[in-house]
Amino acid sequence: MQNPILTVSHITKRFTGTTALDNVSLELYPQEILAVMGENGAGKSTLMKILSGIYPYGSYDGEIKIQDTLCRFKSPAYSEAAGIAMIYQELNLELDLTVAENILLGRYPKTKMGLINWEQVYQDAGAALERLQVKIDVHAPVRSLSPSMQQLVSIARALYCNPKILILDEPTSVLTEKETETLMQILHGLQKQNIACIYISHKLDEVFKLCDRMVILRDGKWISEYSKSQGYQSTRIIEDMIGRRLDVMYPKTKKKIGEEIMRIEHFCVQHPFAYGKHIIEDVSFSVRKGEILGLAGLVGAGRSELVSAIYGLTDSIGGTLYFDGKKITHPTPERSIRMGMGFLSEDRKKNGFVWTMDIEQNMTLAILKEISQGGFINQSREDKISDEYFDRLRIKAPDKKTLITSLSGGNQQKVIIAKWLMTKLKLLILDEPTRGIDVGTKAEIYKLINDLAAQGIAVIMISSELPELIAMCDRFIVLGKGVVQAELSKKDADEVSIMRAASCT
Amino acid sequence: MESQGEKKRFGRLSQWFLRKQESSVILVLILYCVIVTIVNPVFISANNVVNILRSTGFTLIVVVGMTLVLITAGLDLSVGSVFAMGSIVCGICCTAGISVWLSMLIGTGVGLLFGMTIGFTIVKTGIPPLMITLGMQYIGRGMVSAITKGVPVYPLPDGFTSLEKISLFGIIPIIVPVSILIAVAGHIVLSRTTFGRSVYAIGGNQEAAKISGINIDRTKMIVYSLTSALAAFSGIMMASRLGSAEPSTGTGFEMKVICACIIGGTSSFGGTGTVLGAALGAVFMEVITNSLTLMKISVYWQNLFFGVILIAAVLLDQYKRALMMRQSVKVKE
């Protein structure tokens, strides 16, 4: 066998309180596409940040070798110079610059006068795109491109400095199925141009098709390795990733599904970026007491935008909302809470909690009126209710006066859930409730959701992790192209049927 | 045994003290006062202390409002102009023969209206408060100049000018208890009411506050209206003290107020701060002005000192926060 182009040996990286990587070793061979798989928090991103020099040499134990030279990256510039190019999950392009400017950003060729040689810029950008065999106008502003085109621009940007190793961190999370297909062809093409790839994803089907070998990480440890030539077995791989048998994750509770609590008819919601475009065209569905309704769809299908509009956080353009038998016009979060709705937002850090407040203050934020008299907060009432939920949800913190920012993601999520449990809850909307949360807490949150449903509370759940959605929900609404593509009952729903409906095929 | 228990209690006490947001400004203030007293013992004479509190009063009244504004992650640069507007409107009213109390009410009311306009514009347009209030600063000052044509309203009736000369127990001028009363009320509102909690939540994370059902627009409207009303009221008290309503009064006042808040530990990013801390910040600034005279240092140095202390206060606050963070991590392990 050939000598590896990249050798990572015995890497250990600690953060205050946690070990993100524990003695991880792996090799990458020339012309290989290697998948690094694992759940959120498994240590994939940490490893990539070490490889790309974001965590500099010295902040971790172990060593990295490219071919036979030991690498000591002080910053991403060093890693780039050594031939590693990184493509991040979030597209970090300057939206208002042109394609060419983005591809060469920070590396503009100069004329003799010391000014930017624009002719050269466009030529080089064109050449970089040529390698990908795609046709994109180098003069177009990046904002006008679709997400997949933007993705290609960032790959072209990475290729411009002739890397030997290309790292892609969940590149397909914003792409449609067809665009994913194109990306895979491009990666195979690069393989022939003598570039080795590390491909991070948790989409199994993609990895099965694309990657020659996969390494599985869990809780910062190397767990197992499989190669394409031996054949991939999905059950074993999933179990390696989650570290337990599949059936234990999702506890079953007996419950009765009651009458309808909320119904929307012909909902229409404005697209968040494209003016005049509707991300949701015409959607109608209902949810019943004690039911867990799953909202499925690809990224960009408008799931989050739809629930935001139902909750009243953003305005809907058209359609009617009925809650508890009453027609609701112009919902606002304030009114929605009074009616009995709760809303756990998709991005916890952005709008889930108030980071200057402690656990207790975050918990009682939605029930300030209930725990106050004449505008004054009743301290003992606040103490009592926050104590109760602090214990009930088993939040891991020294006490409830701890700042919420010093908690782990899972415990932060528990605090936010507690906030909604304190209200007179009838319908809870959960947008990606387990994103970025460790496996243990995930199971606790699943149990909590099931308990809520058993008490007759309706739940609308959005999740990009299909297995989770399928296991948790009683009924599924699949969104795509702004309308309901399919409504599936529990027994008809599996990954294939949902994905087929979501990709509108 | 006993000394150990004592030590533990002291440890807990110092912990509690460090966690208090006001701790850094208190420590520095006390230290500074001690030094000044050593240099010139006149500093702690009753007369001088009253003097300091009297000049602090005018700033303190506005600081209470500004603290709320800063905690919502906002900013109000217009308070200096509103300060002048309050004094001019009230001055014109009482020279026109309107009763003193009604004139004061009208002056404060005009400030309130001005503040409501600010709040409304900020909430409805979404333009950053810095821009809106900078514009309103010019508009307010412009209105004052246009009304007075630059000429002070003078003389003011005795009934009005005697107001500031009322004193408690013969030595404490009325502005001292009035400003302290306003500060205490502000502190209670901020720390004990749902409104105060909303103010903190908006500054900490406006999006999250909105999702939690907090009425962002209403809260901000109240905060800006209140601040302008307080600024106008403070201006009225100043006119009463000077015996004349000057159109140029309060120029640069907004920076002094903001500086006091920041020295008192209010975060310029919003979400944290207390009225007590900001009040101590206001006292501190006055102490510096006063002490420079007492230590026979030219008063022209004053602004330089303010600048240094402002930056030092922010640095100290940052260091303290880092310390607390480290502690909370340790507790977690």
Tell me if chain A has a CB within 8 Å of the CB of B193.
Answer: yes
Number of residue pairs across A and B with CB atoms under 8 Å?
95
Q: Looking at the structure, tell me whether residues A219 and A165 fall in a common domain.
A: yes
Q: Give me the residue from A351, A366, A376 closest to B205, CB to CB.
A: A351
Give me the CATH topology for the region B50-300.
Answer: ABC transporter involved in vitamin B12 uptake, BtuC (1.10.3470)
Angle between helices B2-19 and B23-39 (to 10 degrees): 100
d(CA B182, CA B300): 31
Residue type at position A95: L
A459-499 confidence digits (pLDDT tens): 999 987 788 898 899 999 999 888 999 999 988 888 778 87
For residue A103, which of A126, A80, A87, A119 has the smallest C-alpha distance? A126
pLDDT above 60 (res B3): no
- Whether B246 and B296 have beta carbons less than 8 Å apart is answered as no
Q: Looking at the structure, tell me whether residues A235 and A331 fall in a common domain.
A: no
Residue B212's closest chain A neighbor by CA?
A: A366
Q: Looking at the structure, tell me whether residues A117 and A21 fall in a common domain.
A: yes
Q: Average pLDDT in the B240-247 region?
A: 93
Q: What letters, b where the CB count within 10 A reaches 16 and e where it falls short, cover A320-334?
A: ebebeeeebeebebb
For residue A323, which of A251, A429, A189 has the smallest C-alpha distance? A429
pLDDT band at B324 (very low <50, low <70, confident <90, very high): low
Task: Give the 3-state secondary structure of residue A438.
Answer: coil
Which of B194, B195, B212 to mutate: most A Cβ within 10 Å?
B212
Angstrom CA distances, B133 to A279, B33, B76, B116, stand at 37, 35, 5, 12
- Whether A42 and A240 have beta carbons less than 8 Å apart is answered as no
pLDDT (0 to 100) of residue B327: 54
A contacts of B203 (beta carbons < 8 Å):
356
Q: Average pLDDT in the A79-105 region?
A: 85
Asked whether the beta carbons of residue B193 and residue A376 sit closer than 8 angstroms, the reply is yes
pLDDT band at B8 (very low <50, low <70, confident <90, very high): low
pLDDT (0 to 100) of residue A347: 86
pLDDT (0 to 100) of residue B69: 97
- Answer with the one of A246, A278, A310 that is the final residue of a domain: A246
- Whether B66 and B76 have beta carbons less than 8 Å apart is answered as yes
Q: Burial level of B120, CB count in 10 A (0-12/13-18/19+)? A: middle
Asked whether the beta carbons of residue B271 and residue A354 sit closer than 8 angstroms, the reply is yes
Q: Which residues pair with B29 in a beta bridge?
A: none
d(CA B65, CA B233): 12
Asked whether the beta carbons of residue A375 and residue B214 sit closer than 8 angstroms, the reply is no
pLDDT above 50 (res A195): yes
Q: Looking at the structure, tell me whether residues A293 and A151 fall in a common domain.
A: no
d(CA B59, CA B203): 23
pLDDT above 70 (res B1): no
Tell me if chain A has a CB within 8 Å of the CB of B268.
Answer: no
Asked whether the beta carbons of residue A398 and residue B195 sit closer than 8 angstroms, the reply is no
Q: A106 lies in a domain?
A: yes
Q: Which residue has the tokens 């008290």?
A: B237
Q: Looking at the structure, tell me whether residues A173 and A93 fall in a common domain.
A: yes
Q: Looking at the structure, tell me whether residues A180 and A51 fall in a common domain.
A: yes
Q: Could you tell me how far CA B268 lies from the centroid of its own chain?
A: 14
Name the average pLDDT for chain B.
Answer: 89
B contacts of A310 (beta carbons < 8 Å):
none
Q: Give me the residue from B198, B210, B332 closest to A406, CB to CB.
A: B332
B contacts of A18 (beta carbons < 8 Å):
none
Half-sphere exposure of A393 (CA within 13 A, CB side): 31
Tell me if chain A has a CB within 8 Å of the CB of B293.
Answer: no
Q: Looking at the structure, tell me whether residues A312 and A207 fall in a common domain.
A: no
Q: Looking at the structure, tell me whether residues A433 and A487 fall in a common domain.
A: yes
Residue type at position A261: I
With a pLDDT cut of 70, the percent of chain B lying above it is 90
Q: A476 lies in a domain?
A: yes
Indicate the DSSP class of residue A64.
E
d(CA A493, CA B126): 45
> What is the complex's ipTM, to 2 decimals?
0.85
For residue B60, which of B212, B244, B279, B253 has the smallest C-alpha distance? B279
Tell me if chain A has a CB within 8 Å of the CB of B247.
Answer: no
For residue A85, which of A155, A176, A177 has the smallest C-alpha distance? A155
Instruction: Count the domains in chain A.
Output: 2
Which of A313, A345, A356, A412 to mutate: most B Cβ within 10 Å?
A356
Q: Looking at the structure, tell me whether residues A88 and A181 fall in a common domain.
A: yes
- Poorest-confidence range of A267-281, A454-468, B8-22? B8-22
Provide φ and ψ at B295, rounded to 5°: -90, 10
Asked whether the beta carbons of residue A419 and residue B205 sit closer than 8 angstroms, the reply is no
* Order of strands, sheet of A61-66, starting from the edge strand that comes earlier in the sequence: A18-28, A6-15, A61-66, A69-71
d(CA A382, CA A399): 15
For residue B230, which of B147, B94, B110 has the smallest C-alpha distance? B110
B151-210 confidence digits (pLDDT tens): 999 899 999 998 888 888 888 899 999 999 999 999 999 999 999 999 999 999 999 999
Q: Which residue has the tokens 């309901």?
A: A484
Q: How far is A359 from chain B (nearest CA, A)?
A: 13
pLDDT (0 to 100) of residue B104: 96
- Answer with the one of A246, A278, A297 that is the final residue of a domain: A246
Name the average pLDDT for chain A.
Answer: 87
B86-120 confidence digits (pLDDT tens): 999 999 999 999 999 999 999 999 999 999 999 99
Q: A217 lies in a domain?
A: yes
pLDDT above 70 (res B21): no
- Whether A307 and A462 have beta carbons less than 8 Å apart is answered as yes
Whether the model clears a pTM of 0.90, i.e. scores above it, the answer is no
Which of A103 and B5 is assigned the larger pLDDT? A103
Q: A389 lies in a domain?
A: no
- Answer with the one of A246, A281, A310 that is the final residue of a domain: A246
- Whether A392 and A412 have beta carbons less than 8 Å apart is answered as no
Q: Burial level of A257, CB count in 10 A (0-12/13-18/19+)? A: middle
Q: A49 lies in a domain?
A: yes
Q: How far is A398 from chain B (nearest CA, A)?
A: 7
- Whether A191 and A33 have beta carbons less than 8 Å apart is answered as yes
- Whether A480 and A297 have beta carbons less than 8 Å apart is answered as yes
Residue A123 corresponds to which tokens in the numbers above? Answer: 């030529």
d(CA A302, CA A462): 11
Asked whether the beta carbons of residue B205 and residue A354 sit closer than 8 angstroms, the reply is yes
d(CA B78, CA B225): 12
Q: Looking at the structure, tell me whether residues A96 and A74 fall in a common domain.
A: yes
d(CA B272, CA B293): 34
Residue A114 belongs to a domain with what CATH number?
3.40.50.300
Residue type at position B54: R
For residue B143, which of B74, B135, B243 has the smallest C-alpha distance? B135
Q: A82 lies in a domain?
A: yes
Asked whether the beta carbons of residue A351 and residue B211 sit closer than 8 angstroms, the reply is yes
Q: Average pLDDT in the A113-123 region?
A: 88
Asked whether the beta carbons of residue B193 and residue A357 sit closer than 8 angstroms, the reply is no
Angle between helices B302-332 and B275-294 (to 10 degrees): 140
Q: A283 lies in a domain?
A: yes
Asked whether the beta carbons of residue B192 and residue A365 sit closer than 8 angstroms, the reply is no
pLDDT (0 to 100) of residue B325: 60
Which of B211, B215, B217, B321 to mutate: most A Cβ within 10 Å?
B211
pLDDT (0 to 100) of residue B330: 44
Task: Give the 3-state secondary structure of residue B325.
Answer: helix
Residue A110 corresponds to which tokens in the numbers above? Answer: 């100069």
Q: Sign (positive/negative) of CA torsion B153, B155, B158, B161?
A: positive
Q: A418 lies in a domain?
A: no
Q: How far is B143 from chain A (nearest CA, A)?
A: 37
- Whether B24 and B265 have beta carbons less than 8 Å apart is answered as yes
Tell me if chain A has a CB within 8 Å of the CB of B19.
Answer: no
Q: Looking at the structure, tell me whether residues A458 and A494 fall in a common domain.
A: yes
Highest-confidence range of A143-152, A464-473, B85-94, B292-301, by mean pLDDT?
Answer: B85-94
Tell me if chain A has a CB within 8 Å of the CB of B201.
Answer: yes
d(CA A176, CA A183): 10
Asked whether the beta carbons of residue A355 and residue B205 sit closer than 8 angstroms, the reply is yes
Q: How far is B161 from chain A (nearest CA, A)?
A: 37
Which of B307 and A496 is assigned the larger pLDDT? B307
Residue B78 corresponds to which tokens in the numbers above? Answer: 């217009």
Q: Average pLDDT in the A271-295 region?
A: 88
A contacts of B215 (beta carbons < 8 Å):
334
Q: Give me the residue from A17, A336, A376 closest to B192, CB to CB.
A: A376
B118-156 confidence digits (pLDDT tens): 999 999 998 999 999 999 999 999 999 999 998 999 899
B52-88 confidence digits (pLDDT tens): 999 999 999 999 999 999 999 999 999 999 999 999 9
Listed in order, strand segments (DSSP E) in A120-212 are 165-169, 196-200
Q: Looking at the structure, tell me whether residues A108 and A202 fall in a common domain.
A: yes
A206-265 confidence digits (pLDDT tens): 888 889 999 988 888 898 899 888 888 877 887 787 776 555 567 666 778 889 999 999
Asked whether the beta carbons of residue A375 and residue B210 sit closer than 8 angstroms, the reply is no
d(CA A72, CA A78): 8
Q: Which residues pair with A285 in a beta bridge?
A: A264
Cis before residue B155, ω within 30 degrees of 0? Answer: yes
Q: Give me the residue from B195, B212, B331 closest to A365, CB to CB.
A: B212
* Angle at alpha carbon of residue A431, lines to A429 and A434, rounded to 5°: 115
Q: Burial level of B13, CB count in 10 A (0-12/13-18/19+)? A: exposed
Half-sphere exposure of A464 (CA within 13 A, CB side): 18
B contacts of A348 (beta carbons < 8 Å):
none
- Look up the domain containing A81 and give its range: 6-246
A contacts of B219 (beta carbons < 8 Å):
none
d(CA A36, CA A38): 7
